[in-house]
Amino acid sequence: MRVLFAGTPEIAVPSLKAVAAQYTVVGVLTNPDRARGRGRTPEPPPVKQAAQELGLPVYQPPTLKSEARQLLSPLKADVLVVFAYGRIFGPMFLELFPAGGVNVHPSLLPRYRGSIPIIAPIINGDPETGVTVQKIALEMDTGDILAQKRFALDSTITADQLTEYAADAGADLLLSVLSDLESGTTAPVAQDPLYATYCRKLNKSDGQINWQLPNYMIERMVRGFFPWPKAFTEWNGKRLTVLEASVSSETTKGKVGTVLGIDRENGILVQTGRGVLAIHRLQLQGRQPLEAQTFVNGNKEIIGSQLGVNLWR
C-alpha cells in the first residue's frame, strides 16, 4: 500500500517512522519552514527533519490548491495518513487517494475536536483521555472512528509528557488501522454529535494566571500549559513563570495573589480564590529556572508581596 504521510510537529514523528518501516511512503507532506528565534532563521518542522533522515521525499506546498494536487498526483498514493498536519483537506484533494484518508487525533473523539486535545483534558481534570484514528471527513475531526485507545490520566502529568505518550500510542494504533484497511476489515463507527466538544487554539496570553481561580484550577493550568504557553504571572514588574506547582493543604487566609510564605517541603505558598497553591519551581524573566527555596533565598522580598497586580489593571 502506497502512503502519502502528512504531519508537522514532533508528535507525528513516531507515526511517520512506524508507517515508513512497514509501508511504501511515497512522500511526506508538511508545512513550510518557519522563521524562529531572534535571527528569524527558517527552521524545518520536526516531520520534515525525520523524513529527510529516512530518505523520504518532502513536499511543502503553501496551500492545498490545484498546484499541490498537480505536484502530488504523480505519486499515486493509495491512502493519505495524517497526524497533526494543521490544514483541512478539500474534496478534490481527497479524491487523489483511492482508499481515502485516515487521521490520528490525540483525544477520545468526539470529545475535544480542535487544536489542543492534549491540553484540554489536563486543564479540565479529566480522569482519562486517549487516541483516536478516524476517517478523514470534510469537516474537521468529524469522520467515522476506526479505532481508539484509552488511558488514565494521573494528577501529575504535564502536556509534554502526555504528548510523548500519545505520540507512541498513536503510532501503534495507526499501524493496526492500516493493516485493517489493507485487508478490508475496518469497521467504521459514526461519531455522535451530541457528545462532541471543541477546544480552541491557544494564544500566549492564555497562560496568564488569574489568582481569583481555585488552587486546583491553577495547578492544572501549570501542568497543561507546559511547555507552552506556560503559566505566568507578574512580580516586581517582570514576568514570573510558574513551572511546577501543587495544591496545598495550607488553610491560611490572605488577599488573593499574596505570597503567604515559604514551606521547605511544599514551596512558595500563594493565596488563590479558593485555597493555597504551592509553587515548587519558577522562573523570573531574564533568569534561569529555580527551585522555590533557592528563588526565595535570592528574592526575600517576594514574601508578603502580591502577584499579578499589574496584569489585572
Residue 284, pLDDT score: 98
Structure confidence at residue 40 as a pLDDT band (50, 70, 90): confident
Split into its structural domains, the chain has a count of 2
Distances (CA, A) of 268 to 32, 90, 101, 250: 43, 51, 50, 11
Indicate if 161 and 278 belong to the same structural domain: no
* Model confidence pLDDT, tens digit, residues 250-270: 888 889 999 999 988 889 999
Residue 195: all three cell numbers together:
457528545
* Model confidence pLDDT, tens digit, residues 66-119: 999 999 999 999 999 999 999 999 999 999 999 999 999 999 999 999 999 999
* Model confidence pLDDT, tens digit, residues 151-178: 999 999 999 999 999 999 999 999 999 9
Residue 313, pLDDT score: 39
Domain boundary, last residue among 199, 234, 268 = 199
Residue 264, pLDDT score: 83
Indicate if 172 and 37 belong to the same structural domain: yes
Bridging pattern class, strands 58-59 and 259-263: unpaired
Length of the chain (residues) = 313
**Mean pLDDT (whole number) for 280-293:** 97
CB distance 173 to 104 below 8 Å: yes
* 3-class secondary structure, 53: helix
Indicate if 212 and 295 belong to the same structural domain: yes
- Please check the confidence at residue 300 and state whether its pLDDT lies above 50: yes
Indicate if 24 and 172 belong to the same structural domain: yes
Residue 310: all three cell numbers together:
499589574
Indicate if 65 and 213 belong to the same structural domain: no
**Mean pLDDT (whole number) for 59-64:** 95
Q: Which domain holds residue 266?
A: 204-312
Indicate if 30 and 156 belong to the same structural domain: yes
- Please check the confidence at residue 312 and state whether its pLDDT lies above 80: no
Residue 119, pLDDT score: 97
Residue listed under C-alpha cell 513550510: 32
d(CA 250, CA 219): 15
d(CA 313, CA 83): 41
- Please check the confidence at residue 140 and state whether its pLDDT lies above 70: yes
Indicate if 126 and 226 belong to the same structural domain: no
- Please check the confidence at residue 37 and state whether its pLDDT lies above 90: no
Indicate if 264 and 222 belong to the same structural domain: yes
Which of 19-43 are b and which e, b meaning 16 or more Cβ less than 10 Å from the residue's Cβ?
Answer: bbeebebbbbbbbeeeeeeeeeeee
Indicate if 193 and 217 belong to the same structural domain: no
Indicate if 125 and 268 belong to the same structural domain: no
Domain boundary, last residue among 141, 166, 199 = 199
CB distance 148 to 170 below 8 Å: no
Indicate if 17 and 84 belong to the same structural domain: yes
Indicate if 102 and 157 belong to the same structural domain: yes
Specify the CATH number for the domain of residue 306. Answer: 3.10.25.10
Specify the CATH number for the domain of residue 159. Answer: 3.40.50.170
Q: Which pTM value belongs to this model?
A: 0.93
Enclosing H/E stretch for 259: strand 259-263
Domain boundary, last residue among 168, 199, 230 = 199
